[in-house]
Structure 1
Amino acid sequence: MPRRQGYALLIALVAGTAVLAAAVAFGTARLTTERQPTASGSGTQAAARNPAAPANSTGTWVVTWTGAPVTGEPDTRNGFPGRTIRNIVHTSVGGDAARITLSNLFGTTPLVVEQATVNTRPVTFRGLPTVTVAAGRQIVSDPVTVPVAPDAELVVALRTPQAGGPVTHHPNTHRTSYLDDTDGTWRTTTWRYLTAVDVRNDVPPGAVVVIGDSLTAGSGSTTDADSRWPDVLSDRLDHRYGIANQGIAGNRLLRDSPSHVNGRGGQAGVHRFERDVLSVAGAKTVIIALGINDVQQPPQEPDPQRIVDGLRSLTERAHARGLRVIGTTLTPFQGFPTWTPERNAVRLAVNERIRAGGIFDDFVDFDRAVRDPYAPNRILPAYDSGDRLHFNDTGYRTLGRLVDLDAVAGTPKSDAF
């Protein structure tokens, strides 16, 4: 299904809900393995999801979509008992089967899911249709034999029968999803519980994992247009690679965001890197687009060396797993309320170090591409969403076209920095 025509799939959603209800059977699968980090970022790191296909199938598993868990959704202590959550996601690479990851990372009580479907096909967990996910953990489903088209909309529906929360969620998705109950259907721009969809593919070259902030998540872009810059990159790669967009609005590199408990920001890049990058199925290349919020969000980081060291530490961790790393320079924000000459000087110092080399295998100069040549500390007006920090669709298209496809497909540097 082509990207811009994917909305036709939503016509089938009401019928899909009925099929989902019909798929219920007795039995519960309880998650007993794969310990996850706690909501504060402490605890044992997540184990990588097994990239191998089942023994009775061919092909390998590669991610087609991700939505990084951000925090517990405010005012959801009781969750959504008796309601069906329909997460609408957009695929990158296609395959002949799918599996989903459900997360209760920020829940304080067990999450019970009694029904789950992918495009109306029933999902099981260890052979059973119902699953209980302990607080602070996640589970990967059994493979679902369902064709998944590249560059298309996918409907992942979940029904929770009992109270329990808070709901692990990803807000500000720039994508319309739905909540169904006996009173009707409600539109939402939040993904709930679902954090990844993998597909089985015969010839995937791998996945590109992008860890970033609101500029990666697409703040300022048009809802349902899939115009974030990783979407543009996926188009340019002809949807042969999996693309994992792990951008979180408000996210920082070094510090859990001050707004973390209010449903934004999430755990710092250095704390979520294992879960959101190194554990992604089929990961081959990492693009790191973090640091601007360390510069401009209070409390600001005044030392550019700490940001540089943080970026280099992520590169070293990725290299230890055999991944290639591409970084991006920090973009202008003069005119945004938090801008000061001192904070801008930190941004410029970080960019100077990135351009000098020794941090990443390669880098993309986002700053140079989007700055106003007559006022280089500002975004070019044609790219500005209106707040002097985030981009419009034209700006994100420019960023997505800037990434060198050969650099994405390259291999990690073997020498240590």
Structure 2
Amino acid sequence: MPNASSEAPAKPSRRSFMQNTSTLAAGLALAPGAIRQAAAADTWYGTWGAAPAGPAPAGSYLSFSNQTLRLIAHGSIGGSRARVRLSNELGRASVQIGAVWLGLSASGATLVTGSNRQLRFGGSAGTSLAAGSALLSDPVDLSIPAQANLALSLYLPGSVQAATVHDAAYQTSYVSGAGNYAASQSISSQRTLYSWPFLTEIDIGTTRAGATLIALGDSQTDGLRSTNNANCRWPDYLARRLQTETGSGALPVGVVNRGIAGNRLLGDADNTPLAGKDAIERFDRDVLATAGARFLVILIGINDILFSSSPDANLASQITYGYQQLVARARTRGMRVFGATLLPFEGYEWYSAARESVRQRVNSWIRTAGAFDAVVDFDAAVRDPSRPTRLLPSRDGGDHLHPNDAGYEAMARAVPLSLLTS
């Protein structure tokens, strides 16, 4: 989804989305020795996640040198064990990691007393993230409550350019002055971050059977125009509903947000690398490789419509065929897949009757084709009943394309919890 400084729609990438996109973008590897520990651990589920993108355009990399990052992430479900997934999948050079600690965030860059735990990789305190790779840490004992704010402290001993990053965090994180402060309860922040470099998933281990829901999408899932540091994206609201509106015996469901602002279903935005690889290309990494993946909500395609130079019935057919590809791949892993209708956008600067016609065709197919296990009607949740081609003003984030907090909450309430509790 374009941000506030959108440019005119670019010509879609000529790279076909039907090319070989089924291989994982980069190997997800357990460090030597971690395999034995992971095999003996509890069952794993994602409590938090973000989709990596990059590398950033030349001259706009995040750079660090002998500094500690304290990255804040809001979890969904709780457990008694934890591990993290670090990624350099978009990098072209290896990244040295000096130390990694995980604790509970109290406020700002300060941790809950006694909660910080050192993470290891094959028993080693540090590791190297090779270019194009990702690593899971060894498991560690850590009691994590549901809806906890987590703090991942990452010491980078050398000079590093963060080529792999989730750009639109809507969450403040912190960068220290020179030195290793990963084990410290509090760090003095030299500057703040509003993105997540290197960190792509936090998993919890538990003896209780559960599941993970992955929200796959663009900026309407990433949370553009939601309130910073308030966790008001629609997946956040859904995670809270699962905690407060289901009984103690209900299946615990972690919610992992794999939305990327600007992302498309069918092709990459060549001039905006932080919009990520298209959903079909990144699907294995961001969906199938997520711990405990069982449910999938697909809300993507509006950028394919907005940036099309020839929005017509053929584009609608390409989008619906892309959905069928995602559904088929998810079902090879036994996942249940829910199709979400595309939100209205009349009033947005690139709105046109032709683009609206494509959206209507796609939504009609989502509702009637029977391709999904269920349909989540986000369109109906946020549209203006008196003019269904636009967002309800009280749920409009201001650009007529992205909801505000109330709109994101309405979207979460459109998800029947009965779909996720059995």
For the residues of structure 1 that align with 2:37 and 2:23, how far apart are their CA atoms?
30
Which deviations, in whole Å up to 9, do the C-alpha atoms of 1:352-401 show, x marking residues without a partner? 11111322111111111211111111100000010000011100000001
1:350/1:259 CA distance change after superposition, 3 Å: same
- Gaps in structure 1 of 5+ consecutive residues: 1-39, 411-417
Change (3 A) 1:166 1:41: farther
Residue in 2 aligned with 1:267? 277
Between the two structures, name the one with larger relative contact order (CA 8 Å, sep ≥ 6).
Answer: 2
Q: Deviations over 1:33-92 (max 9, x none)?
A: xxxxxxx97965556778999478553111110011021244366831211111100011
- Distance (whole Å) between structure 1 residues aligned to residue 36 and residue 305 of structure 2: 42
Question: Which amino acid in the other structure matches residue 235 of structure 1?
Answer: R
Partner of 2:228: 223
What displacement does 1:259 show?
A: 3.6
Partner Cα separation in structure 2 for residue 326 and residue 312 of structure 1:
12
- 4+ aligned runs moved over 4 Å, structure 1: 40-53, 55-58, 298-301
Residues 312 and 290 of structure 1: CA distance in aligned 2, closer, same or farther (over 3 Å)? same
Shift of 1:405: 1.1
Counterpart code for 1:136: G
Aligned residue for 2:388?
376
Match of 2:242 among 227, 237, 242: 237
In structure 2, what is the equivalent of residue 405 of structure 1? 417
- Following the alignment from structure 1 to structure 2, what is the Cα–Cα distance between the partners of residues 58 and 103? 22
Residues 53 and 155 (structure 1), Cα distance of their counterparts in 2 relative to 1, 3 Å cut: farther
- Compute the TM-score of the two structures, normalised by the length of structure 2: 0.82
Change (3 A) 1:372 1:237: same
Once the two structures are superposed, residues 259-282 of structure 1 have per-residue CA deviations (whole angstroms, 9 ceiling, x without a partner) of 433x3x111000001000011000
Mapped to 2, the partners of 1:77 and 1:229 lie a distance apart of: 29
Measured after TM superposition, the shift of residue 235 of structure 1 is: 1.1
* Matching residue within 126, 135, 143 for 1:130: 126
Question: Does the 8 Å contact 1:62/1:281 carry over to 2?
Answer: yes
Residue 94 (structure 2) pairs with residue 110 (structure 1): yes
The amino acid that maps onto 2:289 is: S
Question: Aligned with 1:226: secondary structure?
Answer: coil
Deviation of residue 258 (structure 1)? 3.2
Secondary structure of the 2:413 match is helix
Give SS of 1:273's match.
helix
Query: Alpha-carbon deviations, 1:127-175, whole Å to 9, x = none?
Result: 0011011101111110122211210100001111112434311111111
Is residue 2:397 matched to residue 1:385? yes
Q: What is the alpha-carbon distance in structure 2 between the residues aligned to residue 250 and residue 55 of structure 1?
A: 35
Query: Among residues 145, 155, 159, which one is paired with 1:159 in the alignment?
Result: 155
Q: Tell me, yes or no, if structure 1 residue 291 matches structure 2 residue 287.
A: no
- How many Å separate the matches in 2 of 1:358 and 1:222? 35
**1:157 partner letter:** S
**Residues 1:139 and 2:144 aligned together:** no
Quick check: 1:52–1:60 contact (8 Å CA) kept in 2?
A: no
Task: Report the alpha carbon displacement of residue 301 of structure 1 after superposing the two structures with TM.
Answer: 5.2
Aligned to 2:333: 321
1:330 equivalenced with 2:314 (yes/no): no
1:87 aligns with 2:71: yes
Q: Which residue number corresponds to residue 70 of structure 1?
A: 53
1:395 to 396, 401, 407: 407
Contact 2:162 2:197 (8 Å CA) reproduced: no
Quote how far apart the aligned CAs of 1:190 are.
0.5
In structure 2, the residue corresponding to 1:344 is in which secondary structure?
helix
The residue number in structure 2 matching 1:281 is 291
Is 2:368 the partner of 1:353? no
**Equivalent residue number for residue 311 of structure 1:** 323
- Determine if the alignment matches structure 1 residue 171 to structure 2 residue 155: no
Aligned CA distance change for structure 1 residues 49 and 147 (closer, same or farther; 3 Å): farther
Letter of the 1:377 counterpart: T
User: Secondary structure of 2:205's partner?
Assistant: strand
Deviations 1:6-50 (A, max 9, x none): xxxxxxxxxxxxxxxxxxxxxxxxxxxxxxxxxx97965556778
* d(CA) in 1 for partners of 2:122, 2:391: 50
Instruction: Report SS of the residue matched to 2:70.
Output: strand
Q: Which amino acid aligns with 1:280?
A: T
CA contact (8 A) 2:215 2:298 kept: yes
User: What's the CA shift for 1:237?
Assistant: 1.1
Structure 1 residues 152 and 53, CA gap change in structure 2 (3 angstroms): farther
Give TM-score, length-normalised by structure 1: 0.83
Unaligned stretches of 5+ in structure 2?
A: 1-19, 104-115, 179-187, 245-251
Structure with a larger share of its residues in strand: 2
Match for residue 101 of structure 1 among 85, 104, 114:
85
Decide whether aligned partners of structure 1 residues 78 and 91 sit closer, same or farther in structure 2, where only a CA change above 3 A counts: closer
Count of residues in Structure 1 that have an aligned counterpart in Structure 2: 369
Measured in 2, the distance between the counterparts of 1:65 and 1:329 equals 24
The answer to whether the Cα contact below 8 Å between 2:23 and 2:284 also exists between their aligned partners in 1 is no
1:99–1:142 contact (8 Å) kept in structure 2: yes
CA distance in 2, matches of 1:365, 1:65: 24
